[in-house]
A and B are shown apart, each in its own frame.
Chain A
Amino acid sequence: MSSESLILFFIVGVILVGGAVLFSTFIAPSSKNPVKFEPYECGIATSGNAWIQFNVGYYLFAIIYLIFDVETVFLFPWGVVMKEVGLQAFVEILIFFSVLGLGLLYAWKKGALKWV
């Protein structure tokens, strides 16, 4: 089958989840107890909102990830043709990797790879 049929898998997934949820709403009981609808916080009424500015430790990781992920995108086509191109490709990737490696080393030494 061709890749258009990905739509099919998408639809099958939607049908599976949607159908089950729909089915469940028909047969499952429903209660009116308002306490039940509270978000879980170990049995204590929640204080404050969960959606506040939250110190995410992976901001820097996300940036480094971006660099490396783009790199992976470039690497795959290289990997495919590596066999045919030979030495030239190898030298090029050496240069590419040394730049990347230096970047990683720089981030490492700067302490960017530290979860705060």
Chain B
Amino acid sequence: MSFIYDFSSATQAIDQWLKANLSPTGAFVAELALVGLTILLAYAVIGLYLVYAERKVCAFMQNRVGPNRVGKWGLLQTMADLIKLLMKELIPIRKSDKLLFNVAPYLVIIASFLGIAAIPFAKGLHAIDFNIGVFYIMAVSSIGVIGILLAGWSSNSKYSLIGAMRSGAQVVSYELSVGLALLSVVIFSGSMQLSTIVESQANGWWILKGHLPAMISFVIFLIASTAEINRGPFDLAEAESELTAGFHTEYSGIRFAFFFLAEYMNMFIVAAMAATVFLGGWMPFHLGNLEAFNRVMDFIPPVVWFFGKTIFIIYLIMWFKWTFPRLRIDQLLTLEWKYLLPLNLLNTVVIAFLVLMGWYFK
């Protein structure tokens, strides 16, 4: 049944149609333009609506209504904000390092673009399917921190610099836990290719097939990735009650908007990764041999499955942020080095043992 929602034939058809009607170079350029536009559109829409979702979620948690004036239920609020930020003055800070100051937003945005390229939204809806997908995501996600460091350092503000320093220490540390948590699924599935990992979950998600160790991995991944994208309760780089706005204190107008947008896109990438690796990506929920149940599940399109899972994880991350107080920098590092990392190493050994003995649902 699942083939009905297969996008690979559709994309191939477009590809062939372009190649047949245009010269090879023309087809290539057209393809690039098509993909670029699609990604740009998706990026903008996802980013803006994540901001909106966050506002609504936190508002409901805080007994408020949230944005509800612009458009129906305030749906256009973030659009209005974007337009407002576009019309805001870009203030050049005196004595700042002009070049780096201007380059920093590019870096954070490009990092998130590169990240989103490797995410399989559905079968065939996959910009680039690397054979080292997991590894690639880890690699590009650490480009963003360079942007943050540059932003903090170049603005010649003390608050920014402290924020950037914190962010550096934090991302550097939590990178490990993210990697080790992802490794557990790599061991289970025996592949780093995201499409293969998703395929391997056709009969059940890894979080369920891998027993408790996989769940621990999932939780560690959630915590560590929340820290890596600088979100509360790990938002020390911004820490508005301490550093006013942390690394982007000096940024104004649309440049600030890009940091803001990148934060939300990183959240999306992280949530999408968690959904892909642990929760089966666009795979429907299947229960053993219950044919009827599985059939019904198959009718829900994979895109819906994928976004459903991603939104669920995004909601979790928002829930964390709007409940917990912020950690202090030394506690943050203690949590990583004294709790998450040893647990993670132990967990990896256990998983390796499970795989060795074959004690998991294949």
Contacts and interface: CB of A to CB of B under 8 A. Distances in A.
Contact of A38 (B94, B169, B253): B94
A24 B172 contact: no
A67 to B, nearest CB: 10
Nearest to B88: A28
Nearest to A64: B337
A113 B334 contact: yes
Contacts, number: 217
Interface string A50-90: 11001011100110110011001001100111111011011
A27 B84 CA distance: 11
Nearest to A108: B338
Contacts of B353: 90
B342 A13 contact: no
B117 A72 contact: no
Interface of B is mostly: helix
Interface stretch (B70-78, B128-136, B317-325): B128-136
Contact of B36 (A2, A12, A79): A12
Interface string B106-138: 100110111011000000000110101011000
A13 B190 contact: no
Contacts of B342: 101, 104
Contacts of B159: 40-41
B186 A79 contact: yes
Interface string B128-171: 10101011000000000000000001011111110001001100
A13 B265 CA distance: 13
A40 B254 contact: no
Contact of A58 (B89, B128, B169): B169
Interface size, A (range): 35 or more
Contact of A1 (B127, B168, B352): B127
B255 A113 contact: no
B31 A24 contact: no
B86 A27 contact: yes
A104 B106 contact: no
A37 B352 CA distance: 56
Given A17-B106, A84-B190, A28 B90 contact: yes
A84 B250 CA distance: 53
Interface residues of B, number: 80
Interface in A1-41: 1-3, 5-6, 8-14, 16-18, 20-21, 23-25, 27-31, 34, 36-41
Given A54-B165, A79-B187, A80-B192, A6 B114 contact: yes
A9 B39 contact: yes
A50 B130 CA distance: 42
B230 interface: no
Contacts of B168: 56, 58
A112 B252 CA distance: 38
11 contacts: A20-B254, A39-B160, A40-B250, A50-B157, A54-B161, A58-B168, A61-B173, A69-B175, A76-B183, A80-B186, A115-B169
Interface of A: 1-3, 5-6, 8-14, 16-18, 20-21, 23-25, 27-31, 34, 36-42, 46, 49-51, 54, 56-58, 61-62, 64-65, 68-69, 72, 75-76, 79-84, 86-87, 89-90, 93-94, 97, 100-101, 104, 108, 113-115
Give the 10 A-B residue pairs with the shortest CB-CB distance, closest first.
Answer: A58-B169, A115-B330, A13-B110, A39-B157, A79-B186, A13-B113, A37-B94, A72-B179, A24-B254, A83-B190
Interface of B: 31-32, 35-36, 39-40, 43, 86-96, 102, 105-106, 109-110, 112-114, 116-117, 127-128, 130, 132, 134-135, 153, 155-161, 165, 168-169, 172-173, 175-176, 179-180, 183, 186-187, 190-192, 244, 249-250, 253-255, 257-258, 329-330, 333-334, 337-338, 341-342, 345, 348-349, 352-353, 355-356
Given A24-B87, A51-B161, 19 more contacts: A9-B116, A10-B113, A12-B40, A16-B43, A16-B113, A17-B258, A20-B254, A21-B254, A24-B254, A25-B90, A39-B157, A39-B160, A41-B158, A50-B158, A51-B156, A65-B172, A68-B341, A76-B179, A108-B337
